[in-house]
Amino acid sequence: MTKQDPEAPQPLAQYGVLAVAILLAIGVGGYLFLSGDGKDEELAFGGTPVSALPGAPTAFPNTGMLEPNRPKEGERAPDFALVDARDTTRVRKLSEFRGKAVVVNWYASWCEPCKNEIPAFQKAVDALGGELVVLGVNYLEDRDRAIGVLDKLGATYPAVLDTNAAVADHYRVGRGLPVSFFIDKEGVLQAFKTGEIKKDELGGYLAKIGLTYSPQ
């Protein structure tokens, strides 16, 4: 009977080493596939590369991102153009609201926290008159759903359709809605939040874009 060399690798150990090597190779390959070589900074959610901007393709012509810069606090918010949810013959640009404080709010009809925010945003718009614009950006829905939830909750502020999430991708907005960006009168992004903005938080966020507001 042949004695087994105690120093020799055991079959199970060999398979274990092989499995680890395969997993490492897959992990490295996946990383390289997802991250690319870093050029043009791919969008966080698999959207259009920045190299294809401005004018990232959307469901409507002449809409999408208009500037390649990413949203960053303290810098100008990147401009975009999307179709008006209430009048699909009209295209709205973020830059058309320059000179007013703007809240860009991504929402959807299936999003319960979004529904909690919408009336609070409308009250702020009513109280502040022409000082504040809330721009609703509907995420991946048709116009009936996009305006249906606004109408049901009594919101009259402007809304646009991000029908294939081209702009959401660039702004790094995913399905974790709502997401809100607070932009001052000069077009500079001063703050953003992922998740519902509670009633007692809204005044603080608006203060960051130069507005004084105390929710009732």
Query: What does the domain layout of the chain look like in residue ranges?
Result: 54-207
The per-residue pLDDT for range 85-132, each reduced to its tens digit, is: 999 999 999 999 999 999 999 999 999 999 999 999 999 999 998 999
Calculate the average pLDDT of the chain: 80
- Which of the four pLDDT bands, split at 50, 70 and 90, describes residue 185? very high
3-state secondary structure (DSSP) of residue 46: coil
The per-residue pLDDT for range 49-78, each reduced to its tens digit, is: 333 444 445 667 779 999 999 999 999 999
Q: Can you name the CATH fold of 54-207?
A: Glutaredoxin (3.40.30)
Q: What does the CA dihedral 135, 172, 39, 163 come to, rounded to 10 degrees?
A: -60
Distance CA 100, CA 131 (A): 6
How, if at all, do strands 159-162 and 132-139 pair? parallel
Rounded to two decimals, what is the model's pTM? 0.74
Give the chain's end-to-end CA distance (angstroms, integer).
90
Which residues in 114-124 are b (16+ Cβ under 10 Å) and which e?
bbebbebbbbb
